[in-house]
Amino acid sequence: MELSNEDIQQILPHRYPFLLIDRILELTVNEKVIGVKNVTVNEPFFQGHFPGKPIMPGVLILEAMAQAGGILAYKSNPEAAGKLIYFLGIDKVKFRKMVLPGDQLILHLSVLRLGHKFWKMQGKAFVGENLVAEAELSAAISQDKAASNGEEV
């Protein structure tokens, strides 16, 4: 299953400048998701990280992984419709290479453990064939309803 940016915005409450997924290339319910983040020189974080030497902050690579994982959890659990998915924890983080303007970040997440409300996933981020970051991420489906029509959440 592929998802466009418009499809993603129907699922995630995030909006510019914090929506960090451009497309979903592949999604297998309860198993895995592959997402894309096109990293452009116009990203607002490059102004301060770092002037003259722009590098995508590692924490934003992890956030992009978490957003892709949230899409997988949402699409895998019918009870998640209209609810928020919260990022709970992160383990075994490793940053391997820098992500620079012009790179295309490919995010692979696979389910390690899933439950009715709690998820644990293995995330790997690539630029081309190069592994740039990896981590284990945990998330939970909340009882809270997500805001609609682009309202702040």
Over residues 5-44, the pLDDT tens digits come to 999 999 999 999 999 999 999 999 999 999 999 999 999 9
Residue type, 110: S
Active site residue 116: no
Q: Which residue's entry shows tokens 């439950």?
A: 115
Pick the closest to residue 68 from 19, 114, 103 (CA basis): 19
Interatomic CA distance for residues 9 and 67, integer angstroms: 11
Q: What is the chain's mean pLDDT, rounded?
A: 92
Phi-psi region of 20 (alpha: psi -120 to 50; beta: other; left: phi over 0): alpha
Interatomic CA distance for residues 93 and 102, integer angstroms: 24
The full set of domains in the chain, from first to last, is 5-145 (3.10.129.10)
Q: Which residue's entry shows tokens 């924490």?
A: 59
Catalytic residue among 14, 49, 108, 116: 49
Is pLDDT of 153 > 70? no
pLDDT the model gives residue 81: 81
